[in-house]
Chains A and B, each alone.
Chain A
Amino acid sequence: MSSTGTRLKPRSSWTPSQIVLTLVGVAVSAVFVAPIAAALFTSLKSEAEAAEIPPHWLPEVWTGQAWKALWETGNITNWFVNSLVVSVCVTSVVLTVSALAGYGFARTEFRGKGVLMGLVMSGLMVSPAVLGVPLFTTVQQMGMVDTYWGMILPQCAPAAMVYILYKFFQGIPRELEEAAFIDGAGRWRVFFTIVVPLARPSLAAVGIFTFIASWNNFLWPYMVTNNPDLMTMPNGIATVMNSYGIQWAQLMAGGLMAGLPLIIVFVFFQRQIVTGVAHTGLAGQ
């Protein structure tokens, strides 16, 4: 597959060690892909065949029944739209506020900066898992239970993202900004025209990881929504589909549908994701 590209380089020849490594790689990859393959095959069985004892890997009769049933009876399109709305909003807000805050903490001076930075760092230890109940009662007081706001806003204050961008902005040479200040540019102009473009790989990594985390977030939407029409993909599939009594073929089809968007995104952006991780300073520090 990719061998056509690498064949041009003389170095990547099939040395004995490369053959061994590649075989190990194939074996390990097979283990990693097996559960997903099993889920895919199960989704293509009839419900009766999926529950057969003893089980077998490949369907004896291939059928798209589970996918069709899921599409027709389920709220799956609703859940998909909800997931999309929530994840896109969370990602946009997180990118905006954490880029601004990371830059503010790294490069500007203001009263109380040290104290506030310490406060944000201690926020690294607080998550909806740790403070679920008080966070829920807070959101309830604001009247945001069973609303988009309630699902979105509490996910929008991740101290970790601020910290990652703060580290990155600290590494940008000051001279770049100062040249612009001398030319009469203000803070905001410098931020938008110099700092943000430089930070693009880091921002991409933060954005992608925020999107993944938000799309896959189960616990918080689980706490804050009861209305099946408002559920996100992971919640709908786990709570609603389980409550019918488990229909394995449909459950696997639904799961694959929930996972598919991110898998497609990763296939197209994997290089940016890896370089993004390298650029955030996370990996190198």
Chain B
Amino acid sequence: MTTSAHTVLPGARARTATATATVRRKQGFQHGGWFVAPFLALFALFVVWPLLRGVYLSFTDANISGDGANFVGLDNYREALHDQAMWDALGHSAYFTLLVVPCITLLAFLLAMLAHHIERGKWLWRLCFFVPFLLPSTVAANMFQWLFTQGIGLVNETFGITTPWLTDKSYAMIAIVIETLWWTVGFSFLLYLAALQGIPGHLYEAAKLDGANAWDRMVHITLPMLRNITGLVIALQVLASLQLFDQAVVMMDFGPGPELSTRSFVQYTLEQGFTSYRVGYASAMSIIFFVIIAVVALARMWLLRTREEGAR
């Protein structure tokens, strides 16, 4: 098949295109499947199959060993919908998400602007703002658990206050939010920094020539150019925040926090599965959670599409 392609003269662009299209199609059809096969095998085994299994288990009363599971129909779902503890846990995850996402997006943007505009020591700012993200979640959580502990913690000591961060229901989640901001903002910061570096400099120079001041340049160039990355940062943060688990669990000494106030949805599901051995019920909650996340993700796609159409 390649010999025919050799006969094409360099100048004949149209003929080259059709000839190579044939080559592409033949070669592609032969091998395309093999490129994706290894990933799909792992994906099928550890994503699709557990999902299907979760759907099946959610209709049973399976325990942790999976023996003697009886089909119970929609009982698990019915129970979950009336389970106040599940709704509370879902509420905690949602509350955490609502607090974290706007703060982290704004903070990441400001830090990136700062690191982008200071001319000296760029590597140092990058390192300082990104370094917490390099710590394991448990380590960051342990550090803040210690900093926030009443009596021996440095936060209260440094600011001369006596806030019961970890033991009072109205502060516990705030403490977790502060820890999360510190620990994870570096990733979004890096995305913003890369995006800022990608904005062509001539746009700013042209604007300066037209007499635009710093504020105008920010509102009319920087912010519009960053719109896509902001969308991405928000989407990634929403998905990550809804899955709150590590920080909350470690900072609260592997418990659900004061008056259960920091028990997240993931934590409650795992408690049902691994502590109460109610695998069927935990699976039903997993499926409910999957549906919630899917709805959030689809809503985002729908918003994006309508905005693009609106822009046209």
Q: Distance (Å) between the CB of B162 and the closest chain A CB?
A: 11
Cα separation A157 to B51 with both chains bound (whole Å): 14
A171 shortest CB reach to chain B, Å? 13
In the bound complex, CA of A42 to CA of B28 (Å): 59
Of all chain B residues, which has the CB nearest A182?
B5
Known contacts A18-B119, A133-B279: does B31 contact A100 (CB below 8 Å)? no
A101's partner among B39, B131, B132, B133 (CB-CB below 8 A) is B39
Tell me the bound Cα distance from A52 to B154 in angstroms: 11
Listed residue (B32, B117, B245) with the most chain A CB atoms within 10 angstroms of its CB: B32
Expressed in whole angstroms, the Cα–Cα distance for A230 and B128 within the complex equals 32
Q: Is B137 in contact with A218, judged by CB distance below 8 angstroms?
A: yes
Q: How many residues of A contact B (CB 8 A)?
A: 116
- Contact pick for B135, options A100, A135, A259, A271, CB 8 Å: A259
Give per-residue flags for A21-57: 1 if the beta carbon is below 8 A from chain B beta carbons, else 0: 1101100110011011011001000000011111111
List, in ascending order, chain B residues with CB within 8 A of A174's CB. 24
Q: Which residues does chain B contribute within 8 Å of A284, judged by CB atoms?
A: 194-195, 198, 228
Q: How far is the CA of A3 from the CA of B142 in the complex (A)?
A: 36
Q: A130-B289, A153-B46, A233-B136 are in contact. Are A109 and B118 (CB under 8 A)?
A: no
Which residues of chain B have C-beta atoms less than 8 A from A126's C-beta? 47, 51, 290
Q: Shortest CB–CB separation between residue B250 and chain A, in angstroms?
A: 5
A258 in the interface (beta carbon within 8 A): yes
Say yes or no: B194 contacts A96, CB within 8 Å.
no
Per-residue interface assignment for chain A, residues 91 to 119, with 1 indicating a CB less than 8 Å from any chain B CB and 0 otherwise: 00100111011011101111101001001
Q: Are A18 and B297 interface neighbours, CB within 8 A?
A: no
The one of A36, A138, A141 that contacts B46, using a Cβ cutoff of 8 Å? A138
Residues from chain B with Cβ under 8 Å of A256 in the complex: 139
Shortest A151–chain B CB gap in Å is: 12
Residue of A nearest to B226 (CB): A283
Taking CB as reference atom, which chain B residue is nearest A14? B120
Q: A109-B25, A131-B51, A132-B273 are in contact. Are A270 and B127 (CB under 8 A)?
A: yes
Q: Which DSSP category, helix, strand, loop or mixed, fits chain B's interface?
A: helix
B143 touches A38 (CB 8 A): yes
Chain B interface residue bracket vs A? 35 or more
A68 at the interface (CB under 8 A from B): no
By a CB distance below 8 angstroms, the chain A residues around B103 are none
When C-beta atoms are compared, the residue in chain B nearest to A17 turns out to be B117
Residues A233-278 near B (CB distance < 8 A) = 233-235, 237-239, 242, 248, 251-252, 254-256, 258-259, 262-263, 266-267, 270-271, 273-275, 277-278
> Is there an interface contact between A242 and B253, defined as CB atoms closer than 8 Å?
yes
Contacts of B232 in A (CB 8 A): 282, 285
| 8 A Cβ contacts from B1-58 to A | 2, 5-6, 8, 20, 23-25, 27-36, 38-40, 42-43, 45-51, 53-54, 57
The minimal Cβ–Cβ distance linking B164 to chain A, given in whole angstroms, is 15
Residue A71 at the chain B interface, CB threshold 8 Å? no
Q: Note all chain A residues with C-beta closer than 8 A to B153.
A: 55
Contacts of B266 in A (CB 8 A): 129-130, 132, 219
Asked whether B73 is an interface residue with its Cβ less than 8 Å from the other chain, the reply is: no
Beyond A32-B129, A182-B23, whether A125 also contacts B297 by CB under 8 A is yes
Nearest residue, chain A, Cβ from B35: A104
Asked whether A110 lies within 8 Å of B124 as measured between CB atoms, the reply is no
A-B contact count, CB below 8 Å? 335
Binds A, one of B79-87, B144-152, B165-173: B144-152
Given A219-B246, A283-B194, A274:B126 Cβ within 8 A = yes
**Is the Cβ of A25 less than 8 Å from the Cβ of B134?**
no
B283 an interface residue at 8 Å Cβ cutoff? yes
When distances are taken between beta carbons in the complex, the residues of chain B under 8 Å from A51 are 152
Q: Is A162 part of the binding interface, using a Cβ–Cβ cutoff of 8 Å?
A: yes
Q: Is A200 an interface position by the 8 A CB rule?
A: no
Contact partner, A100, options B30, B35, B54, Cβ 8 Å: B35
Nearest A residue to B4 by beta-carbon distance? A182
* Cβ contacts under 8 Å, A216 to chain B: 134-137
- Whether A110 touches B28, Cβ cut-off 8 Å, given contacts A133-B269, A242-B253, A277-B191, is yes
Q: Are A116 and B36 in contact (CB under 8 A)?
A: yes
B68 within 8 A of A: no
Among residues of B, the one whose C-beta sits closest to the C-beta of A106 is B35
Contact call B118/A22, Cβ cutoff below 8 A = yes
Smallest CB-CB A-B distances: 3 pairs: A104-B35, A108-B32, A134-B54
Residue contacts A-B, CB under 8 angstroms, 19 given: A21-B118, A33-B128, A36-B135, A38-B154, A51-B152, A97-B38, A100-B38, A125-B293, A126-B47, A127-B243, A130-B243, A133-B272, A137-B57, A182-B2, A234-B136, A237-B139, A259-B135, A274-B197, A283-B195
Known: A28-B128, A131-B51, A259-B139. 19 other contacts (CB 8 A): A3-B120, A18-B118, A50-B152, A55-B157, A101-B35, A110-B36, A126-B51, A129-B243, A133-B269, A133-B279, A134-B51, A137-B50, A181-B27, A191-B35, A218-B138, A237-B138, A238-B142, A255-B138, A275-B194
Q: Which residues of B contact A (CB under 8 A)?
A: 2, 5-6, 8, 20, 23-25, 27-36, 38-40, 42-43, 45-51, 53-54, 57, 62, 64, 66, 111, 114-115, 117-144, 146-147, 151-154, 157, 182, 190-195, 197-198, 228-229, 232, 239, 243, 245-246, 250, 253-254, 266, 269-270, 272-274, 279, 282-283, 286, 289-290, 293-294, 297
